[in-house]
Structure 1
Amino acid sequence: MTRARLPLLLALTAALALALTGRYAVMQLPPGLWPALPLDADGMSVDQILLAFGTLPRGVIALLAGAALGLSGALLQIVLRNPVADPTTLGISSGAQLALVLATILAPDLLALGRWPIALSGAGLATALVLAVGARRAFAPVTMVITGMLVGMTASAIATAVTLSQGQYLLSLVIWNGGSLVQQDWSGVATLALLLAVGALAAALLARPLRVLSLGIAGAAGLGVNVAAVRLAAVCVAVVLAAGVSAELGLIGFVGLAAPALARTLGARTIPQRLALSPLIGALILSLCDGLVLTLAGAGGEMFPTGALTGLIGGPLLIWLLPRLRGSTPPGTEAAEGPAPRLSRPLPLLGALVAALVVLALVLVWIGRVPGGWAILDAQSFADFLPMRLPRLIAAAAAGAALALAGAVLQRLTANPLASPEVLGVSGGASLGFAAVIYLVTGPGAALLYGGTIAGGVVALLLVALYVLRRDMPTERILLAGIAVSAFASAVLSAIMAAGDAKSWVILAWLSGSSAAVTLPGALGLGAVALALWLAALGGRRWLALLPLGTGVAGALGLPLRLARLLLIVLAGIATGAATILVGPLSFVGLMAPHMARRLGLARPEHHLSGAALIGALLMLTADFGARMAGFPYELPLGLFASLIGAPWLLWLLMRSK
């Protein structure tokens, strides 16, 4: 797309957003009856009050919030040097969500002060934890990205677990999570306007240092730039912007990712251009989405929040624009991050992981909780419980191994620390297929649920595979395609949750993960699939060794790039889909396990794959045991324990590595 078309495209988008919002305002009240300035509620009718203090501030706050998220995403992508970074990368939204959930349960009196201080405190604490780890490595991009993902996953898992346990009291929070722009006065507009003005001024002051920083830390330091200080300042500005929007409106996703990506697509190549154009595009995206919501509300009432619609529009839009995307922002490797350790003799470590897996499985079969407390099963009790426990153990271990294999393959394929099974969109597609069966079929059976889950995952995988078949498609664009598919699926699920239907809780429980309904044939089948995928991945170890070196080097060494990418992505997709069908979308194991294996010194592809699979199996076995025993006799979400077990371990590895 040429630069000459940029003003026309932005003007058309702005006109469409204005027309949609204006149409709703006209439907609400004819222009001749609109209230005059200054707005005085005492002299207005009810319709005039609704327009002056509801519709009009809503239209303005959509522009402000979209601009703030766009600017936040642009700053994060620049400072972290990663095209798939966005305001959710540092756990900002998840921290705000967790703080509000805990305040509602443990200290409801705090809500009298409003949601802003609570949400901002949660977001700030989550980001402070990320910054504390990042400070040990001069805020190196890869460290920041990995730590932020782990903190966000853990906070989200805890919030989901509490929501499930107290769902009847937290329905409003489920709706809030969708990101609603409903306004009752102009206070939110004033707050976000001030926030955006301060953020824009800070971004303008940081533009030149960030431009110098883009030359690399050695060159920037040589020119007198304090690398750590610039990174910290840019991250803090992005955090305040995103946290302010989350506190005021709820969780609005995808805008912070889509706006900078679209800015680059439309020709913004320099850092000042991206910082200037991303807020404008973000404002137009959110305003357009809210205009569509208002139009639909005028026809049949507002059924879902605006935040849910951002992915419905932005996901397909980003997929359409990906082939036209220009430029690249590689994650890179910096001296502050340091090389991962490399074991000269990895086989003893792999043997120890195998032994730990066997011992853990035997221990978890023999011990458990009874109404009187903990107990070691006798022979008769063991025989009685084995048919119930064995399928769960096999399914948990196989799912963990499959997800870890998928994550290891994707991280090597893309050389990107954010690559995980959920990035492919398979988990989101499978979740959407499951939800579709729940809503469209009365009393669906297990076979129908499995079929819908498989169909959703396959469709998502096919969409991403279409981009792999393009000859010159960079790996970062493959990640963006998967994220776009995931955003679309998440948007639909958020809309379903916000509707407040009783079926929403069935979907929410499934999303949190569980192996309770797994049968022995299903568990053995998943185990066979995991074994076959491990062997297939080992067969592609030469590809996985060459691809991280770059397409130029890999192609020069005779690697069939298109075929290798396609087969490896299909392999990761099958692994993710098979695990998701039986235990739910717990693909974050695929993010943690490969990093743990790499930090333990398993560097060669065959050792890395095997170690990741074993660590993934260990994580899921331990998580399944915790889910069954911690809340005995009730079962807690499997995803909560997988996060609580894996995330602290990986954070510890990141902090101790030099």
Structure 2
Amino acid sequence: MNFKTVIALLLAAGVAVALWGAAAWQLLPSGWPALSFDPDAMNLQQILLAFGLMPRGVIALVAGAALGLSGALLQAVLRNPVADPTTLGISSGAQLALVMATIFAPGLLEHGRWPVALAGAGMATAIVMGIGARRAFAPVTMVIAGMLVGMTTSAIATAITLARGEYLLSLVIWNGGSLVQQDWSGVRSLALVLVIGGVGALLLARPLRVLSLGAAGASALGMNVANIRLAVIALAVLLAGSVSAELGLIGFVGLAAPALARSLGARTMGQVLLIAPLIGALILSVCDGIVLTLAGATGEMFPTGALTGLIGGPLLIWLLPRLRGSTPPGTETAEGIAPRLERPARLLAGLLVIALLLTVLLVWIGRVPQGWAVLDWDSFRAFLPLRLPRIVAAAAVGALLAMAGAILQRLTANPLASPEVLGVSGGATIGYVVTLFTVATPGLGVQTFGTMVGGALALVLVATFARRRDMPAERVLLAGIAVSAMAAAFLSAVMATGSTQSWQVLAWLSGSSSVVGFGQAIALAALAVLVLIGARMTRRWLQILPLGPEVGSGLGLPLDKARIGLIALAGIATGAATVLVGPVSFVGLMAPHVSRRIGFARAQDHVAGSALIGALLMIAADFGARMAGFPYELPLGLFASLLGAPWLIWLMMRMKR
């Protein structure tokens, strides 16, 4: 440990102590409590200090160290500088398991949250590792798989939370990563896990040094690479899952700590495994100190995990140029040669007819207290003005998201691109929230405009970052995922305030078409038609861009103009759709793939087919949201995510090296 590292750690420790001391100072007039911590001999302020603030300060250090060690282990075993419990979906898996157990099977929590959280984290990790094994654990593929699985589980957990109002406030605060403590039990539990993790890391340090030579070199030296990987990953899951069980979702500490350790001069495996937990402890302690300081100044208590997420997004973007082992996550040839329809117009017409028939059918049937029923003619006429607008709006939103996904996949030449993955939905989310907080009484038009601007700006940010560094397409996906992570952290902070706007955001996150009027539905449908026309007008750009910038320049394509125009088109489509369906649905990922596999090869046919398939998917999701929980309506985003998650996992599992 060099002098610069020692000075940096001491300065960070000084900041953490100063921030915690400032929070404690407000409780000091009553004097320090006796070390016996007998509540009967204390006043209220001493109890708050001894059983609230003090264990909170200690658990921040213990949890930060556990996350830092978990991230260091994952980065070492996978040889991936952007691996951590957040980017690999471990924390989100624990989150989903705990949310589902709390709501659907509370009996599982009788013995504590830890077994459930570790089971969820283990299942998410198994999915990510299964995908990664098919691609030789390529760094970019691992992170994309992990963060997509994480986004899926987080979306489902959020939708389930919103569907059960009685658990809403507690789960929202927990999901944000709250360090609030009521006694020392959490400190003791996490400290024991940290000791186990430290001993395990000490035993695994030498095998990890050998594994740093590469899997082939380690195998040649007689190491059982699979067993070592399994042991290290299991230890990392234990550390991260335990923190999630005790405190909730705290992101990116495991990413930042090892990265900062290396930047401060840690070179050997032992140095990284030693310094990363120290840095992790200081990062979380400083973040929590900032939260306490803001709470004392404003009266608002933000979840500490939201602040770490705001730090992690920019850090991930900063680390992207340093990422090695770039392996494209998938190509059309990896999925097999896609068919090509000779007469796509016939199938497009058929899909349009199916969408129209499905619309009429879903208006005609429904559920009543006695069960399923087919409406008579008079009831059909009565329900038509109520059901038709929401079905038209759902279809328009599905078409908009699908067209945005098709445009982005052709723009980046990457089949995993979608509005959710490239950060467009995240930027649209920020635009929506900023509009709510800056405009006194924003109408739907103002909200839509702010959301579209946010989505377009996010995509411009990602595209500018990638263009200046001449980064390959899969790195662009990671930059977009980083923007999505920042948006998620921003949302967590906003929702934890409990303000009027935060409840509006919560209602919007659920995604519902029930409040859409006929005029709004027509406006969304008209916008979908305009985007389709715009995509047809730019069909030459969409046909040439997947061939690469060199081919495009050779054919006289105005690359900058084409990229900016397509970015604006995708941003407008995503922003308008996000106002209705919320930030995550994966329709923009699924529909273009289905369209391509059906045989819509030409750009204009690909976009049109994606639009019709996206419309069908969202019509089905809207019907499920209305009928599955009758007489209560469930979140539209939940059903869209449930449709998207199996497709996402299947798609990633099909990819081969």
TM-score (normalizing by structure 1): 0.80
Aligned to 2:173: 175
Distance 1:102 1:488, change over 3 A: closer
CA contact (8 A) 1:59 1:287 kept: yes
Q: Which residue in 2 is equivalent to 1:433? A: 431
**1:342 aligned to 2:341?**
no
Equivalents in 1 of 2:430, 2:486: separation in Å? 9
Kept in 2, the 8 Å contact 1:469–1:566? The answer is no
Q: 1:20 maps to which residue?
A: 19
Post-superposition shift, 1:154? 5.0
Alignment pair present for 1:119 and 2:114: no
Matches within 5 A, 1:186-585: 186-203=184-201, 205-206=203-204, 221-222=219-220, 224-260=222-258, 262=260, 275-315=273-313, 318=315, 322=318, 327-332=322-327, 339-343=334-338, 345=340, 355-356=350-351, 358-367=353-362, 368-371=365-368, 373-374=371-372, 391-407=389-405, 420-439=418-437, 444-464=442-462, 466-468=464-466, 470-471=468-469, 478-479=476-477, 481-501=479-499, 503-516=501-514, 517=516, 518-533=520-535, 536=538, 539-546=541-548, 569-585=567-583
Provide, for residues 577-619 of structure 1, a one-character-per-residue CA deviation record: whole Å limited to 9, x for no partner. 2321343323533344456667889899888767655554443
Say whether the 8 Å CA contact 2:177–2:303 is kept in structure 1. yes
What's the C-alpha RMSD, in Å, of the aligned pairs? 4.5
Conserved? CA contact 1:544–1:605, under 8 Å: no
Q: State the percentage of identical aligned residues.
A: 64
Q: What's the CA shift string for 1:184-221, capped at 9, x where partnerless?
A: 33332232223233334444555565566666655655
Task: Tell me, yes or no, if the aligned pair for 2:207 and 2:228 is still in contact at 8 Å.
Answer: yes
Structure 1 residues 63 and 406: CA distance shift in structure 2, 3 A? farther
Give the deviation of 1:247 after TM superposition: 0.5
Tell me the equivalent position of 2:640: 642
- Distance in 1, matches of 2:437 and 2:454, equals 14
* Alignment deviations for residues 461-508 of structure 1 (CA, whole Å, 9 cap, x no partner): 454455345355676765565445444433332123223346534322
Whichever residue aligns with residue 354 of structure 2, its letter is V
The Cα shift of 1:539 comes to 1.5
Cα separation, partners in 2 of 1:540 and 1:330, compared to 1, 3 Å:
farther
Higher mean Cα deviation, 13-22 or 216-225? 216-225
1:166 aligned partner, one-letter code: R
Which one-letter code corresponds to 1:446 in the other structure?
L
Q: Give 2:56's aligned residue.
A: 58
CA distance in structure 2 between the partners assigned to 1:334 and 1:312 by the alignment: 26
Matched residue of 1:341: which SS?
A: coil
Change (3 A) 1:331 1:382: farther
Deviation of the 1:249 alpha carbon: 0.6
Closer/same/farther in 2, CA of residues 540 and 352 from structure 1, 3 Å limit: closer
Inter-CA distance 578–341: structure 2 relative to 1 (3 Å threshold): same
Output the CA distance in 2 between the equivalents of 1:265 and 1:558.
44
Partner AA of 1:22 in structure 2? G
Contact 2:306 2:489 in 1 (8 A): yes
- Indicate conservation of the 8 Å contact 1:265/1:325, yes or no: no
Gaps of 5+ in 1: none
- Shift, 1:244, TM fit: 0.8
How far the C-alpha of 1:362 sits from its partner, in A, is 1.6
What SS is found at the alignment partner of 2:366? strand
Displacement, 1:245?
Answer: 0.8
1:72 aligned partner: 70
Unaligned stretches of 5+ residues in structure 2: none
Give, in angstroms, the shift of residue 20 of structure 1: 0.9
Amino acid at match of 1:18: V
Report the alpha carbon displacement of residue 291 of structure 1 after superposing the two structures with TM: 0.6
Q: Cα offset for 1:229?
A: 3.5
Measure the CA separation in 2 of the matches of 1:151 and 1:471. 27
Tell me if structure 2 keeps the 8 A contact 1:64–1:196.
yes
Q: Alpha carbons of 1:53 and 1:347: their partners in 2 closer, same or farther (altered >3 Å)? A: farther
**2:496 partner amino acid:** A
> Equivalents in 1 of 2:121, 2:340: separation in Å?
42
Structure 1 range deviating more: 121-130 or 572-581: 121-130
TM-score, structure 2 normalization: 0.81
Report how many residues are paired.
647
Q: Please tell me the residue identity of whatever aligns with 2:17.
A: L
The alpha carbon displacement at 1:58 in A equals 1.6
Q: What secondary structure, in the 3-state scheme, does the structure 2 residue paired with 1:252 have?
A: coil
Change (3 A) 1:465 1:187: same
Q: Which amino acid aligns with 1:16?
A: V
Distance 1:72 1:25, change over 3 A: same
The answer to whether the 8 Å contact 1:138/1:228 transfers is: no
Residue 450 to residue 612, structure 1, CA distance change in 2 (3 Å): closer
Question: Which amino acid is 1:20 matched to?
Answer: L
Task: Give the superposition deviation at 1:27.
Answer: 3.4
User: Shift in Å at residue 369 of structure 1?
Assistant: 0.8
* 2:468 partner SS: coil
Write the deviation string for residues 306-354 of structure 1: whole angstroms up to 9, x where unpaired: 1222234555x638x83x876223452699x993222354668997687
Query: What is the one-letter code of the residue matched to 1:328?
Result: L
Amino acid at match of 2:359: L
Aligned-pair distance for 1:375? 5.0
Distance in 2 (CA, whole Å) between partners of 1:272 and 1:111 is: 37
| Stretch moving more, 400-409 or 411-420 | 411-420
Give the 3 Å change call, closer, same or farther, for CA 40–386 of structure 1 in structure 2. Answer: closer
**Structure 1 segment 83-98 matched on structure 2, within 5 A:** 85-98=83-96
Question: Cα 1:83–1:52, aligned 2, differ >3 Å: closer, same or farther?
Answer: same
Note the alpha carbon deviations across 1:118-144, whole angstroms, 9 max, x for none.
433443444455556777888777776
Superposed displacement of residue 374, structure 1:
4.2
